[in-house]
Amino acid sequence: MGLSLSWDGYFLNLEMRTHVMGILNVTPDSFADGGRYLEAEKAVEHGIEMANQGADIIDVGGESTRPYSKKISANEEMDRVLPVIEALSRETSIPISIDTYKSEVAREAINCGAAMVNDISALRFDPHMAHVVSQAGVPVVLMHMQGTPETMQVKPSYKDLIGEILDFLQQAVDRSAEAGIREDLVIVDPGIGFGKSFDDNLKIIKELSRFESLGRPILLGTSNKAFIGHILEKEVYERGTGTMATVACGVLNGAHMVRVHDVAKTVETVKIVDAIKKGRAG
């Protein structure tokens, strides 16, 4: 089975090149850009800017899932994201993803123009999410996380890091199939920073090719995360170079999609790495 995504007028050829998912946090408290795009107008402007910079997908989120973050209501989340998604779906031609684990938010976001769901819980937190995704016929990202955003960084531990994540993601893929979600629309994400130690994150990137055994596209999200700051002794806003290093390593080791804050630099980075992988430019 090929690893391209084709649905409802969209086609992402993941076998041809690495795709870039731009992060658009419509939140006051996200770790890297909290509050910067909380106003809908600013969020839409930034989304259009990312599309113009070469983003293949824009991932819109209304609830921070940084370590120790608190939950918000579905209504509050929808108040933040729905106007942005509705505007971006009119202003851009690329797919808009909704970053949520709540089925109600996903359903209304799809009604407003979202064409993909990015669920950090891999369909576990809301029993109705799988049905919403299945009925909509859109791609879904299934991410590994140990615990919840509130607890995931309280001494995460594994006996077999890669093996346990692989088992978790295989179960998530099986769960999505049982719910009627098309297998060719499922994307897997090992969940960098979600219930992982600093060394765990490095090991996942180093051994990312092992996740190819799942037979699904691999999404890698390392952008500006704490392990980069730990290595470089840099604050969140100073982690751009470190992020590009992790993107390059991730793509070399098998990532099909990367989720980032800085789209422009990432588009250039993956073009170079893709060219090296293919042994030719263009």
Assess whether 259 carries a catalytic annotation. Answer: yes
- Rounded to an integer, what distance in angstroms lies between the CA atom of residue 46 and that of residue 43? 5
Task: Report the C-alpha gap between 28 and 132 in whole angstroms.
Answer: 27
Task: Evaluate whether 57 touches 263 at the Cβ level (below 8 Å).
Answer: no
Work out the end-to-end distance of the chain between its first and last CA atoms, rounded to an integer number of angstroms.
25
Residue-by-residue DSSP string for 64-103 = --STTPPP--HHHHHHHHHHHHHHHHHH-SSPEEEE-S-H
Would you give the DSSP letter of residue 122?
Answer: T
Burial class (CB in 10 A: 0-12, 13-18, 19+), 48: middle
CA 184 to chain centre: 17
Catalytic residue among 196, 225, 234, 239: 225
| 264 torsion bin: left (phi>0), alpha (psi -120 to 50), beta (else) | alpha
Active-site residue, 225 included? yes
Distance CA 240, CA 269 (A): 12
Which has the closest alpha carbon to 274: 74, 15, 17, 14? 17
CA–CA separation, 153 vs 106, rounded Å? 26
The active-site residue, picked from 70, 259, 277, 280, is 259
Active site residues: 225, 259
